[in-house]
Structures are given as C-alpha cells and as structure tokens.
Amino acid sequence: MRKGGGCCNWLNFIVMKAEIGGEAALIIFRSRNKKTSIDRKNMPQDNVFEGMSSRVDKQGNVLYTLASGGMIKDMGKDLFFSKHDEAAQEAAEQLAWRKFGRDFVIEGNRVGRKPKATHLNKVVS
C-alpha cells in the first residue's frame, strides 16, 4: 500500500496495481490510449442511473444499487439484476448494451453476451 493509507481514486488504484505487475491494470492503461468509434447518438439515454451507487465486493464483482432499491451485479461475463424489478432490468439492459454492444441475451434475470456461432467440422462415419 502507498503512504497515506492507500488509493484515493480509480486512477491511483490502477497505477498501484500496474506497479505491482497487475496485467489487468496494464490493459486498462493501454486501452485508454485507443480511440473508440462508439456512436453515442444511438446509445440509450435514460435517468435510470440517476441516484445509483456502486461498490466492489471481495470477489471483484461490481454491485450497483439503484435509487429505486433494485440491484445489479456485474460479474464480468454476466450481469444479474433483481427479479421482478423493471427499473433494474432496464438498467441491466443499458449496462449490457454499453458493455457487450448489441450482442447480448437476457435469460431470466441474467444478461450476458450472445454465444458466438461455432462451426464444428465433425467427421461422420
């Protein structure tokens, strides 16, 4: 840990992780230098995120709490949202859109990337 009790913001946290050899931190730094071609005009805009708070648990999952009380758990590959909570489902869909692009699927209260089509070349005998 650094003097003063640790990290005070995201950038300091990433710097600290990169200094101790964190591969993910290095990837984040490298990605910051790449220009993206996201068309922000077509991104969904809503106030569903207004008043939202977030925290990270000990497993590295990001837990979002909406102002309505609904929750979303971002586990990296998948998002899970509060069942029977329309605001949580809408927010999870918007997060998925931003995270996965258009290629996501909703199954129950799970949102994840659509599986890529695989072509298996099996020899039939």
Nearest to 71 by CA among 57, 83, 56: 83
Dist CA 36 CA 31 (whole Å): 9
Per-residue pLDDT of 25-37, as tens digits, reads 666 656 655 544 4
For residues 110 and 78, the answer to whether their CB atoms sit within 8 Å is yes
pTM for this model (two decimals): 0.57
Give the range with max mean pLDDT: 20-24, 30-34, 57-61: 57-61
- Would you say 96 and 104 are in contact if contact means Cβ atoms under 8 Å apart? yes
Which carries the bigger pLDDT value, residue 102 or residue 2?
102
Pairwise CA distance, residues 112 & 80, whole Å: 9
- The candidate with the shortest Cα–Cα distance to 65, out of 84, 55, 52, is 52
pLDDT more than 70, % of the chain? 59
The string of pLDDT tens digits covering residues 35-44 is: 444 444 444 4
